[in-house]
Structure 1
Amino acid sequence: MNLKQAKVLLTGGSLGIGKATAKMLVDAGAKVVITGRNEDRLKEAAEETGAQYVVADVSQPEEVKHTYQQTTQLMGGLDVLINNAGIGGGFSPLSEVTADDFLSVYSVNVMGVAMMSQLAAEIFKKQGHGSIINIGSTAGTKGFERGTVYASSKFALRGMTQCWQAELRKHNIRVMLINPSEVTTAFGNKDREERDEEANKLRSREIAHAITSALQMDDRGFIPELAVWATNPWK
């Protein structure tokens, strides 16, 4: 698709991958609305990237509806949804996992994505085109020790993505999954402070590049799933 004047809604846009992606898309000529729960961080990210913002929590159905109402007012339509908002679990051993751990993570990583995508799909079906990009994880392709809650949420996201691909292709809607490996962001940091970049680790901009490149493919084709790994993180 041509990103010039494309209307993009991006969740979790105040930090890390979300902020880097918003900047790259705006630089490519797109109109972008970012969402997040912290208005101060959102406002700062909007100023840095050139995006507009809506304060919203994707785990709350009424705030999801509010997001689309505000996005329509700000941009006048929608061409792309990027489901980037996500949280990590406590990474506890199986013996310590609780039902609340699942509920808190799944409400964002699974239910939030589903609710955001449901409304986007309604818009895209009516207009006969659209793209949905889900930000998964390589943890959604292979589990790891203490990853019961987080990895299973990303496995669920991967499964939902495949279901939507089968359901929505006939409506000219592209549904794509990007699976980052470890990225030096604020993810998993309880204070939500960005980590310092490490020379050989992935940065947010590598994932932003993958997202932007996937969108820029002509609409007659799409990349169903893409994993991004650091070339040599141990160097």
Structure 2
Amino acid sequence: MEIKNAKILITGGATGMGYEMAKIFKEKGAEVLICGRTEKTVMDAAKELDVLGFTADVANEQDVENLFKFVEEKWNGLDVLINNAGVGYFSDLVATTTEDFARVWDINVKGAFMVGREAAKIFIRQNKGNIINIGSTASLYGFANGSAYVASKFALKGMTECWRAELRKNNVRVMQINPSEVVTEFGAKSGYGSNDNGKKLTASEIAHVAMSMLTMNDVGFITDTTVFATNP
């Protein structure tokens, strides 16, 4: 697809990977809308990037409905959804509370589902569109202390495969990016930590992958890709 003038919505777009994706798409001439839960963070990022900003919690259905009303009012259509909003939580099984588990699930799975559903309504109407879900290597294998996060990312992978099968007849390309550890604020916020030694992935590498996937001619698409640092 052609990035110039494309209408691109990025959830969790005010920081980290979402921010870098918004930046690279804007530089290539796209119209970009970022959303996030914290108004000041979203609006500051939108101003820095010269893109549209909207405050929305993807785990809240009314917020999601309001987000897509805004999309329709501003653009009357959409070319790309990047489902990037997500949270992490890492703890041993016996210390993980039901509330901890549900909080991760609400954003990483239910939130992605609701945003994807509303975008799909537009894409089916248009008979074209693109979805990139930001997964993780945690959608490929489990590890100790990862019950809540890994479960959410395995579920996201399953939804991605369902949407891909369902929406191909509408010329919608559904893709997933599975980053390994990326040095962003995610690690600190989730309690996982991140040792930035200059050799690990940064958000710009993931933005590069998203750009590469989208700019392939529409006759084909990369279903999913996993990104590792060469020698972390």
- Provide TM-score, normalisation by structure 2: 0.96
The whole-number CA distance in structure 1 between the counterparts of 2:88 and 2:194 is 16
Number of residue pairs aligned between Structure 1 and Structure 2? 231
Shift of 1:84: 0.2
**How far apart are the structure 2 equivalents of 1:118 and 1:16?**
24
Q: CA deviation at 1:98?
A: 1.8
**One-letter code aligned to 1:228:** V
C-alpha distance 123-9 of structure 1, shift in aligned 2 (>3 A)? same
C-alpha distance in 2 between matches for 1:181 and 1:174: 23
User: How far, CA to CA, are the matches of 2:41 and 2:109 in structure 1?
Assistant: 24
Measure, in 1, the Cα distance between the counterparts of 2:215 and 2:195. Answer: 30
In structure 1, the residue matched to 2:104 is 105
The answer to whether the aligner puts 1:85 opposite 2:85 as a matched pair is: yes
Counterpart of 1:150 in structure 2 is 149
Question: Are 1:201 and 2:200 matched, yes or no?
Answer: yes
Distance 1:35 1:19 in 2: 10
CA deviation vs aligned residue, 1:62-115 (integer Å, no higher than 9, x gap) = 0000000112222332111000000001x1111112211121001000000000
1:227 matched to which residue of 2? 226
Partner of residue 174, structure 2: 175
Q: Is residue 81–residue 131 contact of structure 1 (8 Å, CA) maintained in 2?
A: yes
Q: Residue 85 of structure 2 aligns to which amino acid in structure 1?
A: A
- Could you tell me which residue of structure 1 aligns to residue 66 of structure 2? 66
2:168, 2:129 → 1: CA distance?
A: 10
Distance 1:198 1:204 in 2: 15
Question: Partner of 1:56 in structure 2?
Answer: 56
Separation in 2 of the partners of 1:33 and 1:85?
A: 13
Quote the Cα distance in structure 2 between the aligned partners of 1:198 and 1:13: 25
Show CA shifts across 1:177-235 (max 9, x none).
0001000000042399x9785310100000000011101111111111101110011xx
Contact 1:197–1:203 under 8 Å retained in 2: no
Q: Is the 8 A contact 1:133 1:178 kept in 2?
A: yes
Question: Residues 196, 29 of structure 1: CA spacing in aligned structure 2 closer, same or farther, 3 A cutoff?
Answer: farther
Instruction: Tell me, yes or no, if the aligned pair for 1:58 and 1:64 is still in contact at 8 Å.
Output: yes
Query: Separation in 1 of the partners of 2:190 and 2:179?
Result: 22
Contact persistence 1:8–1:82 (CA under 8 A): yes
Q: Specify every segment of 5 or more residues in structure 1 that has no aligned partner in the other structure, as ranges.
A: none
**Aligned 8 A contact 1:22 1:49 in 2:** yes
The 1-side partners of 2:194 and 2:77 are apart by: 35
Alignment partner of 1:54: what SS?
Answer: strand
Whether contact under 8 Å (1:58, 1:108) holds in the other structure is yes
Contact 1:22 1:32 in 2 (8 A): yes
Identity level (%): 49
Structure 2 SS opposite 1:190: helix
Kept in 2: contact 1:178–1:225 (CA 8 A): yes
* 2:187/2:194 contact within 8 Å kept: no
Change (3 A) 1:199 1:190: closer
Other-structure match for 2:185: 186
Residue 7 of structure 1 aligns with which residue?
A: 7
Q: Which runs of structure 2 are paired with 1:20-35 in the superposition (5 Å)?
A: 20-35=20-35
Q: Distance in 2 between matches of 1:93 and 1:195?
A: 18
- TM value normalised by structure 1: 0.94
Stretch deviating more after TM superposition (48-57 or 60-69): 48-57
Q: What is the identity, as a one-letter code, of the residue corresponding to 1:116? A: V
